[in-house]
């Protein structure tokens, strides 16, 4: 387990030496996929395409098998927006986690970290974007000077993770291969942020985007483009073209292993191998092994049926615990796939988040009363949900970290999570909600019945089933639950604007924190924690939007994050973590139902290098990302 | 010529109905508070992204969402000049989809004719199944043929479509290697029409047609059977039988013709229920029809997209009703449109 800056420094030293190994490896081989293009003179040969110092992965040393190029991997997504998963699965980051959650340079050749204050990023000489343009510090400079600090493109300035107590870094670009970020105070979260599933790209394909930037483009051409795209200004056009994460602009160069080769709204999207990708294996074969990824957009209800029919080579998205039976049946019937059961990294499989920033004054008062939140939690019969929906395979309990985390404490999981309707009733009575109407539903202070509308993303059947059971449980304590299924984006928008009273989502994405993990997601720093959207906005916009946290426990959480950031040792970091987890368990900001339900992963029988036991987690993890899908290959090269 | 006049008259009323429908569609879509852009603006404000807000405000005025509702409607249909002159449905501009950030025409494009295709196939299925089965069930009433067809029919009526779809997909794939979901193999998407593409579409149509059509066919069959049974008890049938007319010829020549009216008139009922039913079925089955688009549009309050799709569905229904009316007049001389006036 690493945590100290010293370790990162040591790591970067080893990283500096890996290139030497690259020179010893056999010559890089041309891929069959691009051979015709190379012979036609449209592409330079592979030796000229990969960086001078490629990243050589030693698969044998990691217990994997070196593979062969080729094949098409079929996978399914349920919404056309989800093609952005290719950026997540591709997981080419400046620095990325390996399977042990340690940070390694990836796109970077190496990095140096001096006391978390000065970060030197060393690029690979000869590294190129997928269109062949060089990837240099100019791309970082363009982003920093002309995008992040451009008032029209980013009115609020550079993103939040670059600010340390409001202070922006000094960024310098001494040579084409070096970028230096420097703060006067430590920014311990900088490198971790770069390794996120949804990374803050701190670089842009400058050569491509300058065509749309007022400072570089020819005014007449730009005006024509703006008009053509039906947008109001060059800034809007630039933002529209510049979607490194959305991945929907097939013209935008990328550094990911696969590049988008389909434009527009289609049912089938094809992603082909990036000819300039920077990773090769120990035999000199350029990664990714798989030539083409084919993503098909299907209706959410059909993912399991289609996987059962063998139409997916690698599938986890859209599959849930309840699909395991049909997947196993397909295997038994002679399907061409196997179903691996991976662990999940979320702190709770299902969690209810009462919105402490709801616009309705009365409800806000009620939901802010900790006795109400505790009562709602106590009234839920978690064991019966576990039995009815998860064959007792999940772990009922409140939202807290999972067992593999060093901070796991069984007491926190049990806090306010035992089934005790009597105590719940007492708590609600004590909270002043002791009047009931003719149907036995409690009355709010202003006389309305206590009908709590819980909004869901409408994506997971088990959430809806669990809510049915909770509806009955809560009737016992005189609270009426009304469930309202919405769309994922609408749900978020409603929560962010304070319209929704309560919502259901997963628990914290990262249920496996270690001392070096920033605990910021436990504090009101981000609107995506659905219990405090407005406090999160306040922090994210440096006070321009949202509301300042006005509950002492929430303020304490903010202090503890600061403590963690300023901490010099693991003992201090652990102390901050432990206290924050205690506050969460005590305050019940998110009512966790259960955790640890296995995630089915369908894997084609001839697909190799997919770990049988893995963790399916968003961040850190990037779903398949940290398991490096560019190293997966089909036996014999076709599939 | 009479029939032509009637057709023109029916066409006129259809256009009027369509106009009324457009008013209602537009009004109903605007009933829920807020619209896509105001939701968007609220979110962008909340997260402090003023650049986005400016863009959303620009779109508001670009698409006249800042004007009173009746003006929005007139501009949308094309009765009133918008910011860029007359540019509405009548002029062939279907509007802009905010959710997909594309013109509506680009989004619906292909899905329009696929919607028509799916519904056409389902209607054909209903008739092809209901006609022979209904006749046999009536001619051999209270025998095992009657009971079996009734049993299967009720099963079709009573089983929820999505369940039927999943069962058919599973077993269809297992035993007949039928594809699951979709309307064609994805590799043919956007390709020009070819024999292979047609074949792919036909194979993909089997399950959806069955799912959308079964309940309609069951109902239709029972109606035909009941009507035919009424006729079969009448004296002229007895006379014909007594005179030694061959049963099959007798059946098709007299009672069937009499029982045919409701069968044709039913197109008017069948189409709306099938078109609206197929919207949901398409979502479940993952068909590239207009159904999933409509659902997304409604969920995100994407004004112009949902309005256009609803108008299209209404148009399909109206065309179906018109066809059934005209056919009815052709079929049954007793139905006369002049009768109305005299």
The whole-angstrom distance between B46's CA and the closest CA on chain A is 6
CB contact under 8 A, B299 and A540: no
Chain A hits for B169, CB-CB cut-off 8 Å, are 302, 305
Mean pLDDT value of segment B1-5: 79
Q: Which of A534-538, B333-337, B338-342 has the lowest mean pLDDT?
A: B338-342
How many Å apart are CA A492 and CA B292, to the nearest integer?
Answer: 21
Instruction: Quick: pLDDT tens for B41-81.
Output: 766 665 555 556 666 777 777 777 888 888 889 888 888 88
Grade residue A4 by pLDDT with cuts at 50, 70 and 90.
Answer: very low
Residues 221-260 of B with CB under 8 A from A: none
- Helices A370-378 and A421-430: crossing angle in degrees, nearest 10, is 160
Residue in B with minimal Cα distance to A235: B51
Six token digits for residue A627:
């398991």
- The answer on pLDDT for A13 being more than 70 is no
Instruction: Quick: pLDDT tens for B258-295.
Output: 888 777 777 777 777 777 777 778 887 878 788 888 88
How many Å apart are CA A179 and CA A127, to the nearest integer?
Answer: 15
CB contact under 8 A, B47 and A267: no
Classify the C-alpha dihedral B255-B256-B261-B266 as positive or negative: positive
Six token digits for residue A216:
């570089």
Mean pLDDT value of segment A390-419: 90
Grade residue A362 by pLDDT with cuts at 50, 70 and 90.
Answer: very high
The answer to whether the CB of A327 falls within 8 A of the CB of A118 is: no
Query: By the CB < 8 Å criterion, does B42 face chain A?
Result: yes
Residue with tokens 């020009």: B192
Nearest to B101 by CA among A493, A237, A296: A237
> What is the pLDDT, as a whole number, of residue A383?
94
CB contact under 8 A, B181 and A231: no
- Helices B303-331 and B290-299: crossing angle in degrees, nearest 10, is 140
Local structure of A125: helix, strand or coil: coil
For A363-421, the DSSP string reads HHHHHH-HHHHHHHHHT--HHHHHHHHHTT-SEE--S---TTSTT--HHHHHTT-S--H
Query: By the CB < 8 Å criterion, does B47 face chain A?
Result: yes
Mean pLDDT value of segment B155-172: 84
Mean pLDDT value of segment B178-192: 79
Residue A553, CA atoms < 13 Å, CB-side half-sphere: 17
The reply to whether omega before A620 is within 30° of 0 (cis) is yes
> What is the pLDDT, as a whole number, of residue B218?
86
CB contact under 8 A, B300 and A487: yes
Q: Which of A22-31, A115-124, A185-194, A349-358 has the lowest mean pLDDT?
A: A22-31
What is residue A148's DSSP assignment?
A: I
Query: By the CB < 8 Å criterion, does B38 face chain A?
Result: no
Residue in B with minimal Cα distance to A78: B286
- The answer on pLDDT for A3 being more than 60 is no
Residue in A with minimal Cα distance to B297: A487
The answer to whether the CB of A390 falls within 8 A of the CB of A593 is: no
Q: Which residues pair with A181 in a beta bridge?
A: A119, A171
- The answer on pLDDT for A247 being more than 60 is yes
Chain B hits for A270, CB-CB cut-off 8 Å, are none
How many Å apart are CA B275 and CA B292, to the nearest integer?
Answer: 13
CB contact under 8 A, B49 and A156: yes
How many Å apart are CA B48 and CA A536, to the nearest integer?
Answer: 12
Which of A153, A240, A267 minimises the CB distance to B182?
Answer: A267
> What is the pLDDT, as a whole number, of residue A352?
96
Grade residue B198 by pLDDT with cuts at 50, 70 and 90.
Answer: confident
CB contact under 8 A, B182 and A298: yes
CB contact under 8 A, B286 and A302: yes
* A319 Rama sector, left if φ>0, alpha if ψ -120 to 50, beta otherwise: beta
How many angstroms separate the first and last alpha carbons of chain B? 19
Please calculate the CA angle A481-A483-A488 and round it to the nearest 5 degrees: 140
> What is the pLDDT, as a whole number, of residue A410?
92
> What is the pLDDT, as a whole number, of residue A6?
43
How many Å apart are CA A402 and CA A346, to the nearest integer?
Answer: 8
Q: How many residues does chain A have?
A: 639
Q: pLDDT exceeding 90 applies to what percent of chain A?
A: 54
Query: By the CB < 8 Å criterion, does B280 face chain A?
Result: no
Chain B hits for A301, CB-CB cut-off 8 Å, are 162, 166, 284
Mean pLDDT of chain A: 88
Topology (CATH) of B123-336: MetI-like fold (1.10.3720)
Q: Which residues pair with A110 in a beta bridge?
A: A122
- The answer on pLDDT for A16 being more than 50 is no
Chain A hits for B51, CB-CB cut-off 8 Å, are 152-155, 235-236, 239
The whole-angstrom distance between A273's CA and the closest CA on chain B is 19
How many Å apart are CA B205 and CA B198, to the nearest integer?
Answer: 10
Chain B hits for A268, CB-CB cut-off 8 Å, are 186-187, 189
Q: Which of A56-60, A148-152, A503-507, A549-553 has the lowest mean pLDDT?
A: A148-152
Q: pLDDT exceeding 70 applies to what percent of chain B?
A: 92
Grade residue A26 by pLDDT with cuts at 50, 70 and 90.
Answer: low
Query: By the CB < 8 Å criterion, does B194 face chain A?
Result: no
Phi, psi of A51 (to 5 degrees): -60, 160
For B6-39, the DSSP string reads HHHHHHHHHHHHHHHHHHHHHHHHT-SSS-HHHH
Q: Which of A11-25, A129-143, A156-170, A522-536 has the lowest mean pLDDT?
A: A11-25
For B186-238, the DSSP string reads GGGTTPPP-HHHHHHHHHHHHHHHHHHHHHHHHHHHHHHHHHHHHHHTSHHHH
- ipTM more than 0.85? no
CB contact under 8 A, A268 and B187: yes
Strands A451-456 and A599-604: unpaired
Q: pLDDT exceeding 90 applies to what percent of chain B?
A: 6
**Between A11 and A271, the higher pLDDT residue:** A271
B3 CB-contact burial (10 Å; exposed 0-12 / middle 13-18 / buried 19+): exposed
Chain A hits for B180, CB-CB cut-off 8 Å, are 302, 305-306, 309, 311
Six token digits for residue A129:
């974007």
The answer to whether the CB of A314 falls within 8 A of the CB of A75 is: yes
* A220 Rama sector, left if φ>0, alpha if ψ -120 to 50, beta otherwise: alpha
Q: Which residues pair with A344 in a beta bridge?
A: A616
Q: Which residues pair with A295 in a beta bridge?
A: A75, A269
Query: By the CB < 8 Å criterion, does B61 face chain A?
Result: no
Chain B hits for A231, CB-CB cut-off 8 Å, are 55
Six token digits for residue A422:
């009597």
> What is the pLDDT, as a whole number, of residue B123?
87
CB contact under 8 A, A232 and B54: yes
- The number of angstroms, rounded, from the C-alpha of A273 to the middle of its chain's C-alpha atoms is 23
For A13-25, the DSSP string reads HHHHHHHHHHHHS
**Between A436 and B332, the higher pLDDT residue:** A436
DSSP H stretches of helix in B233-302: 235-242, 247-253, 255-265, 267-285, 290-299
The answer to whether the CB of A279 falls within 8 A of the CB of A630 is: yes
How many Å apart are CA A519 and CA A90, to the nearest integer?
Answer: 26
Q: Which of A43-47, A262-266, B178-182 has the lowest mean pLDDT?
A: A262-266
**Between B318 and A23, the higher pLDDT residue:** B318
**Between A82 and B331, the higher pLDDT residue:** A82
Instruction: Quick: pLDDT tens for B289-335.
Output: 888 888 888 877 888 899 998 898 888 888 888 888 888 888 777 76
Mean pLDDT of chain B: 82
- The number of angstroms, rounded, from the C-alpha of B239 to the middle of its chain's C-alpha atoms is 43
Helix (H) or strand (E) holding A615: strand A615-616
Mean pLDDT value of segment A152-167: 82
Six token digits for residue A453:
């509308």
**Between B180 and A610, the higher pLDDT residue:** A610
Which of A236, A305, A493 minimises the CB distance to B170?
Answer: A305
Q: Which residues pair with A354 in a beta bridge?
A: A502
CB contact under 8 A, B181 and A305: yes
Give the global pTM: 0.76
> What is the pLDDT, as a whole number, of residue B247?
85
Residue with tokens 């069937």: B256
> What is the pLDDT, as a whole number, of residue A241?
85
CB pairs under 8 A between A and B: 104
**Between A568 and A593, the higher pLDDT residue:** A593
Query: By the CB < 8 Å criterion, does B84 face chain A?
Result: no
Q: Which of A78, A309, A330, A331 to mutate to test the interface with B (most CBs of B within 10 A)?
A: A309
Out of A136-145, A341-350, B40-49, B197-206, give the one with best mean pLDDT: A136-145
Grade residue A2 by pLDDT with cuts at 50, 70 and 90.
Answer: very low
Nearest to A525 by CA among A574, A563, A494, A562: A562
Which of A268, A309, A540 minimises the CB distance to B180?
Answer: A309
How many Å apart are CA A137 and CA A208, to the nearest integer?
Answer: 15
The answer to whether the CB of A197 falls within 8 A of the CB of A618 is: yes
CB atoms within 10 A of CB A216: 14
Residue with tokens 């057709």: B7
Query: By the CB < 8 Å criterion, does B286 face chain A?
Result: yes
> What is the pLDDT, as a whole number, of residue A271?
94
How many Å apart are CA A557 and CA A522, to the nearest integer?
Answer: 7
Q: Which of B37, B43, B46 to mutate to test the interface with A (most CBs of A within 10 A)?
A: B46
- The answer on pLDDT for B130 being more than 60 is yes
């Amino acid at each position: 387990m690493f945590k100290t800056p010293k370790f990162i420094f040591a790591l970067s030293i080893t990283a500096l030496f890996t290139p030497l190994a690259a020179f010893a490896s056999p010559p890089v081989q041309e891929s069959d996929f691009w051979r015709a293009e190379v012979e036609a003179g449209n592409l330079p040969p592979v030796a000229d395409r990969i960086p001078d110092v490629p990243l050589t992965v030693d698969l044998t040393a990691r217990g994997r098998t070196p593979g062969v190029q080729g094949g098409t991997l079929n996978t399914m997504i349920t919404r056309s927006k989800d093609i952005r998963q290719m950026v997540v699965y591709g997981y080419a980051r400046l620095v990325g986690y390996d399977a042990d959650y340690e940070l390694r340079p990836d796109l970077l050749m190496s990095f140096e970290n001096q006391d978390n204050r000065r970060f030197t990023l060393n690029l690979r000489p000869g590294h190129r974007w997928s269109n062949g343009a060089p990837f240099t510090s100019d791309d970082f400079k363009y982003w920093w000077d002309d995008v992040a600090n451009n008032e029209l493109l980013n009115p609020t300035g550079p993103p939040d993770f670059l600010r340390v107590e409001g202070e922006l870094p000094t960024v310098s670009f001494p040579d084409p291969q070096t970028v230096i970020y420097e703060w006067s105070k430590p920014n311990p979260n900088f490198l971790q942020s770069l390794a996120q599933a949804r990374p803050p790209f701190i670089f842009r394909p400058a050569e491509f985007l300058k065509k749309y930037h007022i400072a570089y483009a020819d005014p007449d051409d730009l005006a024509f483009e703006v008009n053509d795209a039906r947008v109001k200004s060059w800034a809007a056009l630039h933002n529209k073209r510049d979607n490194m994460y959305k991945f929907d602009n097939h013209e935008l160069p990328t550094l990911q292993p696969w590049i988008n080769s389909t434009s527009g709204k289609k049912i089938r999207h094809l992603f082909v191998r990036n000819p300039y990708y920077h990773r090769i294996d120990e035999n000199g074969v350029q990664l990714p092994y798989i030539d083409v990824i084919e993503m098909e957009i299907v209706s959410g209800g059909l993912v399991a049926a289609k996987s059962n029919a063998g139409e997916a080579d690698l599938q986890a998205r859209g599959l849930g615990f309840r699909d395991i039976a049909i997947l196993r049946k397909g295997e038994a019937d002679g399907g061409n796939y196997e179903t691996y059961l991976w662990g999940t990294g979320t702190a709770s499989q299902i969690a209810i988040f009462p919105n402490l920033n709801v616009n309705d004054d009365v409800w806000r008062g009620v939901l802010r009363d900790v006795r109400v939140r505790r009562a709602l939690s106590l009234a839920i019969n978690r064991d019966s949900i576990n039995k009815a929906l998860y064959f007792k395979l999940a772990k009922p309990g409140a939202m807290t970290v999972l067992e593999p985390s060093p901070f796991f404490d069984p007491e926190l999981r049990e806090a306010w999570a035992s089934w005790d309707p009597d105590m719940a009733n007492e708590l609600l009575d004590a909270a002043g909600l002791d009047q009931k109407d003719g149907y036995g539903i409690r009355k709010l202070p202003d006389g309305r019945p206590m009908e709590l509308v819980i909004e869901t993303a409408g994506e997971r059947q088990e959430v809806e089933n669990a809510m049915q059971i909770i509806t009955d449980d809560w009737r016992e304590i005189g609270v009426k639950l009304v469930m309202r299924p919405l769309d994922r984006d609408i749900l978020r928008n409603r929560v962010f604007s304070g319209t929704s009273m309560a919502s259901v989502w997963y628990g914290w994405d990262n249920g496996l924190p270690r001392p070096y993990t920033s605990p910021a997601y436990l504090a009101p720093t981000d609107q995506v924690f659905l219990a405090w959207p407005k406090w999160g906005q306040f922090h994210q916009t440096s006070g321009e939007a949202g509301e300042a946290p006005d509950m002492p426990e929430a303020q304490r959480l903010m202090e503890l994050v600061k403590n963690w950031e300023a901490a010099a040792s693991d003992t201090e970091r652990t102390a901050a973590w432990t206290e924050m987890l205690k506050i969460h368990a005590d305050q019940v900001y998110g009512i966790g139902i259960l955790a640890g339900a296995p995630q089915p992963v369908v894997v084609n029988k001839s697909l190799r290098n997919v770990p049988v036991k893995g963790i399916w987690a968003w961040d850190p993890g990037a779903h398949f990302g940290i398991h490096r899908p560019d190293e997966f290959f089909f036996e014999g090269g076709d599939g | 010529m009479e029939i032509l006049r009637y057709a023109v008259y029916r066409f006129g009323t259809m256009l009027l109905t369509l106009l009324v429908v457009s008013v209602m569609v537009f009004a109903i879509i605007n009933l829920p508070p807020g619209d896509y852009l105001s939701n968007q603006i609220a979110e962008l404000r909340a997260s402090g992204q003023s650049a986005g807000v400016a863009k959303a405000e620009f779109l508001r005025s670009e698409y006249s969402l800042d004007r009173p509702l009746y003006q929005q409607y007139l501009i949308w249909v094309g009765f009133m000049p918008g910011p860029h002159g007359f540019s509405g449905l009548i002029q062939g501009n279907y509007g802009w989809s905010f959710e997909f950030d594309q013109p509506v025409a680009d989004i619906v494009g292909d899905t329009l004719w696929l919607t028509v295709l799916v519904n056409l196939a389902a209607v054909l299925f209903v008739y092809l199944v209901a006609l022979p089965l209904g006749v046999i069930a009536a001619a051999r009433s209270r025998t095992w043929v009657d009971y079996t067809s009734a049993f299967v029919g009720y099963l079709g009526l009573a089983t929820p479509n999505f369940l039927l779809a999943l069962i058919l997909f599973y077993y269809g794939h297992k035993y007949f290697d039928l594809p699951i979901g979709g309307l064609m193999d994805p590799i043919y998407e956007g390709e020009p029409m070819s024999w292979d593409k047609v074949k792919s579409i036909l194979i993909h149509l089997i399950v959806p047609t069955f799912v959308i059509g079964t309940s309609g066919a069951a109902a239709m069959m029972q109606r035909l059977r009941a009507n035919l049974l009424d006729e079969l008890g009448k004296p002229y049938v007895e006379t014909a039988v007594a005179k030694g007319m061959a049963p099959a010829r007798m059946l098709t020549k007299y009672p069937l013709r009499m029982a045919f009216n409701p069968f044709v008139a039913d197109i008017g009922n069948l189409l709306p229920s099938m078109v609206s039913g197929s919207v949901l079925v398409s979502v479940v089955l993952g068909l590239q029809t207009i159904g999933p688009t409509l659902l997304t549009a409604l969920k995100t309050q994407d004004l112009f997209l949902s309005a256009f799709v609803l108008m299209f569905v209404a148009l399909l229904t109206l065309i179906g009703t018109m066809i059934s009316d005209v056919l009815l007049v052709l079929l049954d001389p007793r139905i006369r449109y002049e009768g109305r006036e005299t």
